[in-house]
Structure 1
Amino acid sequence: MRLYCLSNDLAKPCYVITFKGLRIMLDCGLTEQTVLNFLPLPFVQSVKLSNLPNFIPSREHDPQMDGELKECCGRVFVDSSPEFTLPMDKMMDFSEIDVILISNYLNMLALPYITENTGFKGKVYATEPTLQIGRFFLEELVEYIEVAPKASTAQLWKDMLHILPTPLCEAFRPKKWRTIFSLKDVHNSLSRVTIMGYDEKLDILGAFIATPVSSGYCLGSSNWVLSTAHEKICYVSGSSTLTTHPRPINQSALKHADVLIMTGLTQAPTVNPDTKLGELCMNVALTIRNNGSALIPCYPSGVVYDLFECLTQNLENAGLNNVPMFFISPVADSSLAYSNILAEWLSSAKQNKVYLPDDPFPHAFYLRNSKLKHYKHVFSDGFSKDFRQPCVVFCGHPSLRFGDAVHFIEMWGNNPNNSIIFTEPDFPYLQVLAPFQPLAMKAFYCPIDTSLNYQQANKLIKELKPSVLVIPEAYTKPHPSAPNLFIEQPDKKIITFKCGDILRLPLKRKLDRVYLTSEMAQKIVPRDVGNGVTISTITGILQVKDKVHNIKPCADTVSEMPSGSKKQPPPTREDVLKNVKYEYGSPDVDSLVKRLSQDGITNIKMERQGNVLTLHLVNEDTIIKFEDNETHIVCGGKQSLRLKLRDSLLKCLQSF
């Protein structure tokens, strides 16, 4: 059994397990940080971005590259449609993937790249919220980029990395970066997904039973348990032990695994999400009191639901309950509506509201009372009429390279009373703001990441008691700003890996399960061979289908003989096989010597060295060597003598 690591991003994992000819992909995260190397895509032409000077290298300048790179405040950007990093396709041919198991909607954004135009014929499994919310993310991503297309695509700069400044010169495999997929690819890709519920068991071609169990991280997020008759492998990705809106993590299903693969730990290990949530509310209130507006770049689902609830309550407590809040996304309407019909995937507190009846999320109440308004874009009908300042705007994209957030940065960036508050930890906020510098508006970094931190992960591992722990190498190294933050399990066997590694998982199966029909089971006659061991022969046909082994009765029957025929009917296959004898045990050497003497072999010398007993047949120039688990006959190529000695030896063994 092998594990392939196809992703260079710990927060957006992609692994493949190979076993018995089967290839199972665990998640297919899309690395979006590469878009930070590109200029933003405004809805209308930006004077500032259009007037940025071309970057000209100090050496080896290629005039054909002019216009591909722009310079802003000492930083160089690519003037082209943004591109993304895919899982490494050279390590694994995507057309050979049999099954893809998705743990949460944040880890499925590379799915269209993997399933479309690659020859992929496998199956994809995910929970219902993962599928539907993943659809929102993918559709939003496509629309944001397609609504502001670039006239051309820059490629020449990728051949000149050695003369470019950082971070472009450090770009990881830029020639493998890809522009965004089409909406058609998104729909075709998602049509391949089969929905599963928590604790539902899935037979994967007879090799594994796969079970998704709640991970507590986001709506529908799962950890996967892959079990066989002999092994148990748990894949823990994007999990949380905090009490938020999703259903709590199911720890019991993950206990006592032979192998525990853990990834997707927090990207903000040095901060407490509750503390940062409080800071966000405080910064928004201060901004509003200074007659400024607050911009919160966000994804269309997830933490944003908690932000609506917490921020509204804090503004009311601060006497700012009349401040309008806007949620702007191409999928805002679908996201808000869908979140309130997912009772079975929510925490107990949220579920109980459904039965009152009440809305599990308060944003439904805010929408009805116009405290929260949603629109597809800033240019949507009605937005200009409803828009007033000061206000709070939630919109995408957190990278600030595309989406409505680009418009608000350009509109509010010159006013120091306004603020932008970053809550998503996927992007370093200083790099996010780089193409907009100089910027007068205030910037606050309040990363809210509810996934496991290092202390929680260490505690969880001790409670789960896996035999082997498999984690990224980076998790075993102390954090630069907090030396005590790393995974430390001195009593566990730990296997580490990094991007591009292929691991051999320590599962050495020697036996496999075989199924008998009831008819076959009734024919078993056990025989005691000593030491509490009983054995029996089974005569039948071994059938292997979808990696499942079955033994069935022999199918042949005796054909009818002509009436009056004196010929004996031919024996059935079962009758022939029943006459086969099976020897077992250790040979009786004294009995063998007597048999050899009876056959005329008399000049025999016996010698013992340790556990090895040797019989030297002097006249025949032959040696018979007995060891603990094997016997050798060395007779110099005398085939007739070898067969004679073999038959004599077999008669000295017990048989049934």
Structure 2
Amino acid sequence: MRLTSLLPDGEPNCLVLKVRQMLIMLDCGLGQEQLYAMPVREGGLIDDHHLKENNSSTTGSAGDITTGGTGSKRKLEETDIRQDWASFLKASSMQFPSKKHARGSHSNSQTTQPASSSTTTGATSSLSGSTDGTIPAAANTTGIPSKSASTREYMFKLPDFSGVDLKAIDVVVVSNYNHLLALPYLTEYTDFQGRIFATEPTIEFGRQLMIEFVTFFGTSVTSSPHEIIDRKELVARAGAGLYPAYTHADIKACIDKIQPVRFREHISLFGSLKLTAHSAGYCLGSSNWLIQIGTENIAYVSSSSTQQNLHPDLFDGTLLENASTVVATDLCPRGSFTYDNGVNQVCQTIAATIARKGNVLVPCTISGFLFDLLEDVHLHLGRMGLLTQVQYSFVSPVADTALQYSNILAEWMAPRKQEMVYIPEAPLLHGILLEKEKGIAKHYKSVHGAFSSDLKLPCIVFGGHPSLRSGPMVNLLHMWGNKSSNTILFIEPRMDVVSSMEPYENLAITQHAVQLDIRLSIDQLVDVMNKYRHPRHVLVPVSATNSRESDGTSELADTKRTTSTSSTRWSSYKVGESVQLGMGSLYESVLLSEELAKGILPQAFGNVSFAPIAGSLSIYNNQMQLKPASVQGRQLLSLYTQRLLLGVMNLPNLLAGLTAIGVVNMEVTESEGTEEKETGEVPEIKVGFELHGQAATIILREKETILKCDETVRSLLREPILKCFQCF
């Protein structure tokens, strides 16, 4: 067995497992660390007509806005909720639209455009540059990213496919929607022809995540990278190159290729390969996979959680009961906030901000433990008497779909959530807030249009990409970032908070990072495995091991000081290096062909029937079959033909045979040991004699016959002994 990781530790999973003739890809994540080095994009600003409408309505209700040669001046009351929005529109309109690079330009060079002029009129300047994919450069002196400098497409690091024969991959299994963003590259840009399996929620939430990804970081929904990047070239250069986002058409084609599965559903492929999905307890539809190839059982444990009182179905550890090898990925790093400890800090931070009439920005995806966090926040604000003062806003291109779809997946939820369906009641709180309590919770595709007119302060906004390089959070930071009464709260565990806020270092907004992590830690993984039979091999990311390595493996660096033992071997893996593990099984199942089976004629020996089998072994699609040998094969088999003996030695027949070849004065002794009496075994019998002057002894036991003699008389004793057995 060989395991290879195609993405660095800390990035979403993408591993390749080779077992015998099978090649299995475990997840297909997309590296996004390089996002932090990219300039900030003003995500989807509004056009001229919408801008004029908002400016005119703002003037009528909140004060006068005059435009002149030196820019716009505002006379707005501090308490008016339209104040910040008008300021945002004015500042955004003064951004000078810059030209976009050609689609095929992937170099690090940048095209510098002239800065915006101070004479630009706030109410009439064009914003077309904000919707065609232009990307502003680093932040200016006010801490707000501007569009003045560079235009580059967002580029992403694919898994290192260069060392993998993608056409030979038989199966891709997906553990959850966080680890499939690179799947369209695999299915639409390469020669991959295998099958893909994932649970129904993983497929749907994965599709939503892909759409959000393309909306935030793609250049156009109509243009296709296929026109620029050759499919074969992508495979050859994937290890070193960065590539632009795929398109909506690629997403649809990719999703159509995924086969949905259910928990505990058994999938049989290629004869000896069996796949079973078990609940991972991390998010809706998250799964761990039991991979069975012949007699080898491999447990793939990815993004799992044993956290109680969350909405996903509980962690199912039964896949570890018979697992001989465990591959553990996406473990919780040390120093992360546990959910129980971190959620209290989140609730306190949000309540303190709302109490001082500030707004809260929470950059995150509209999925996962956010649904549970919302319940905790809502309960805490209720206890503090702040519910009447707050509005929840979910801003994402897929917010509506994600919120509605999550509430119809009760069968994938924990038992306590499933019971709510029969009340009937929405199992998740946001469903109740959106349906019954109008006004307190709303969802929007973007910060344009209805968001500005519905806005009530103070407000808690969920959504956007946590990297803060694109999406609605960029716009909202532009609007609310200069007030210290507002707060931006980071809760996503995989994001680098310092790098995310680099372009906004001069903003006055209060920053808090409480990165909640519900994934299994090393210690929890050990505890889980201790409840079941210990596997022979356990593989973990190199970040979970000590730096000291020997023989290509590392000792596990957990607080329990678990190290490799005679029964369990701990090994580490890292990107670009293969880990080889020996298979424990010595035998394989072989099918008999119909032709060969017809020629088998069993012979009865007492209550048992036996038959010799000889044939030619063929292996195809990981399935072994024994067929009748060809003419040349029969010649080879005849060299190895020998008589097979069966039966129990008959002492009188043996003595008669020895007498026939001239043996006299035989001494027969029977053992009288207590061990034979206790176990019920047949006593051992020894026959001692001399033949041609050489001493010899024949020992008769229940399951074996032992001959002790000189080589000169062994051939003479052959025939008397063979006559005591049956042969076939």
For this structure pair, what is the TM-score category when the shorter chain's length is used for normalisation? 0.7 to 0.9
Q: Of the candidates 440, 443, 449, which is equivalent to residue 374 of structure 1? A: 443
Q: Of the candidates 444, 461, 468, which is equivalent to residue 393 of structure 1? A: 461
Q: Which SS does the other structure have where 2:186 is aligned?
A: helix
Q: Which SS does the other structure have where 1:129 is aligned?
A: helix
Report what 1:126 is aligned to: 198
Deviation at 1:72, TM superposition (A): 5.1
Alpha-carbon distance between aligned partners in 2 of 1:28 and 1:487, rounded to the nearest angstrom: 32
Deviation at 1:510, TM superposition (A): 3.9
Change (3 A) 1:434 1:526: farther
Report what 2:544 is aligned to: 475
Alpha-carbon distance between aligned partners in 2 of 1:652 and 1:505, rounded to the nearest angstrom: 50
Change (3 A) 1:651 1:230: farther
Report what 1:610 is aligned to: none
- Decide whether the 8 Å contact of 1:33 with 1:426 is kept in 2: no
User: Is the counterpart of residue 188 in structure 1 residue 253 in structure 2?
Assistant: yes
User: Is the counterpart of residue 247 in structure 1 residue 313 in structure 2?
Assistant: yes
Change (3 A) 1:548 1:31: same
Alpha-carbon distance between aligned partners in 2 of 1:487 and 1:16, rounded to the nearest angstrom: 29
Alpha-carbon distance between aligned partners in 2 of 1:414 and 1:652, rounded to the nearest angstrom: 105
Alpha-carbon distance between aligned partners in 1 of 2:546 and 2:643, rounded to the nearest angstrom: 56
For each residue in 1:274-319, what CA deviation from the matched residue of structure 2 results, as whole angstroms up to 9, or x when unmatched?
1111111111111111111000011121122112211111111111
Report what 1:425 is aligned to: 493
Report what 1:305 is aligned to: 371
- Superposition pairs for residues 449-598 of structure 1, below 5 Å? 449-464=517-532, 465-477=534-546, 488-491=562-565, 492-507=568-583, 509-516=585-592, 520=597, 523=600, 525=602, 536-538=611-613, 545-551=620-626, 581-583=641-643
Change (3 A) 1:443 1:250: same
- Superposition pairs for residues 9-408 of structure 1, below 5 Å? 9-42=9-42, 43-44=44-45, 67=112, 80-146=152-218, 175-243=240-308, 244-267=310-333, 269-322=335-388, 323-368=390-435, 369-370=437-438, 371-380=440-449, 382-408=450-476
After TM superposition, the structure 1 stretch with the greater mean CA deviation from structure 2, 302-311 or 536-545, is 536-545
- Decide whether the 8 Å contact of 2:463 with 2:473 is kept in 1: yes
- Decide whether the 8 Å contact of 1:232 with 1:257 is kept in 2: yes
Letter in structure 1 aligned against 2:247: S
Change (3 A) 1:138 1:541: same
Deviation at 1:228, TM superposition (A): 3.1
Change (3 A) 1:478 1:392: farther
Q: Which SS does the other structure have where 2:162 is aligned?
A: coil
Change (3 A) 1:222 1:582: same
Alpha-carbon distance between aligned partners in 1 of 2:109 and 2:301, rounded to the nearest angstrom: 48
Deviation at 1:331, TM superposition (A): 0.7
- Give TM-score scaled by structure 2 length: 0.67
Letter in structure 1 aligned against 2:418: Q
- Decide whether the 8 Å contact of 2:272 with 2:294 is kept in 1: no
- Decide whether the 8 Å contact of 1:215 with 1:248 is kept in 2: yes
Change (3 A) 1:527 1:72: farther
Letter in structure 2 aligned against 1:195: P
- Decide whether the 8 Å contact of 1:41 with 1:148 is kept in 2: no
Deviation at 1:132, TM superposition (A): 0.5
Letter in structure 1 aligned against 2:597: M
For each residue in 1:18-67, what CA deviation from the matched residue of structure 2 results, as whole angstroms up to 9, or x when unmatched?
2333211001111212111111110349779979xxxxxxxxxx996564
Alpha-carbon distance between aligned partners in 1 of 2:451 and 2:219, rounded to the nearest angstrom: 18
Alpha-carbon distance between aligned partners in 1 of 2:217 and 2:627, rounded to the nearest angstrom: 59
Alpha-carbon distance between aligned partners in 2 of 1:357 and 1:63, rounded to the nearest angstrom: 56
Q: Which SS does the other structure have where 2:403 is aligned?
A: helix
Deviation at 1:326, TM superposition (A): 0.4
Alpha-carbon distance between aligned partners in 1 of 2:17 and 2:479, rounded to the nearest angstrom: 49
Q: Which SS does the other structure have where 2:448 is aligned?
A: coil
Change (3 A) 1:501 1:63: closer
Q: Which SS does the other structure have where 1:206 is aligned?
A: coil
- Decide whether the 8 Å contact of 1:30 with 1:108 is kept in 2: yes
Deviation at 1:463, TM superposition (A): 2.6
Deviation at 1:542, TM superposition (A): 5.9
Report what 2:680 is aligned to: none
Alpha-carbon distance between aligned partners in 2 of 1:494 and 1:63, rounded to the nearest angstrom: 42
Change (3 A) 1:174 1:427: farther
Letter in structure 2 aligned against 1:582: Q
Alpha-carbon distance between aligned partners in 2 of 1:477 and 1:14, rounded to the nearest angstrom: 23
Alpha-carbon distance between aligned partners in 1 of 2:344 and 2:531, rounded to the nearest angstrom: 31
Deviation at 1:360, TM superposition (A): 0.8
- Decide whether the 8 Å contact of 1:328 with 1:374 is kept in 2: yes
Deviation at 1:349, TM superposition (A): 0.5
Q: Which SS does the other structure have where 1:40 is aligned?
A: coil
- Decide whether the 8 Å contact of 2:211 with 2:248 is kept in 1: yes
For each residue in 1:236-267, what CA deviation from the matched residue of structure 2 results, as whole angstroms up to 9, or x when unmatched?
11111112111111112212421111111114
Alpha-carbon distance between aligned partners in 1 of 2:276 and 2:109, rounded to the nearest angstrom: 54
Aligned Cα RMSD in Å? Answer: 4.0
Alpha-carbon distance between aligned partners in 1 of 2:443 and 2:326, rounded to the nearest angstrom: 42
Q: Which SS does the other structure have where 1:116 is aligned?
A: helix
Q: Which SS does the other structure have where 2:531 is aligned?
A: helix
Change (3 A) 1:526 1:220: farther
Alpha-carbon distance between aligned partners in 2 of 1:248 and 1:521, rounded to the nearest angstrom: 51
Alpha-carbon distance between aligned partners in 1 of 2:353 and 2:139, rounded to the nearest angstrom: 28
Alpha-carbon distance between aligned partners in 1 of 2:165 and 2:10, rounded to the nearest angstrom: 21
Q: Of the candidates 476, 481, 484, which is equivalent to residue 416 of structure 1? A: 484
Change (3 A) 1:289 1:222: same
Change (3 A) 1:433 1:485: farther
Deviation at 1:122, TM superposition (A): 1.1
- Give TM-score scaled by structure 1 length: 0.74
Alpha-carbon distance between aligned partners in 1 of 2:39 and 2:577, rounded to the nearest angstrom: 33
- Decide whether the 8 Å contact of 2:40 with 2:137 is kept in 1: no
Change (3 A) 1:22 1:577: closer
Give ranges in structure 2 of 5+ residues lacking alignment.
47-90, 97-106, 113-134, 226-236, 549-556, 646-717
Deviation at 1:328, TM superposition (A): 0.8
Report what 1:55 is aligned to: none
Deviation at 1:405, TM superposition (A): 0.8
Alpha-carbon distance between aligned partners in 1 of 2:463 and 2:721, rounded to the nearest angstrom: 81
Change (3 A) 1:517 1:49: farther
Alpha-carbon distance between aligned partners in 1 of 2:381 and 2:264, rounded to the nearest angstrom: 40
- Decide whether the 8 Å contact of 2:220 with 2:247 is kept in 1: no
Give ranges in structure 1 of 5+ residues lacking alignment.
52-61, 154-171, 557-570, 586-649
Report what 1:7 is aligned to: 7
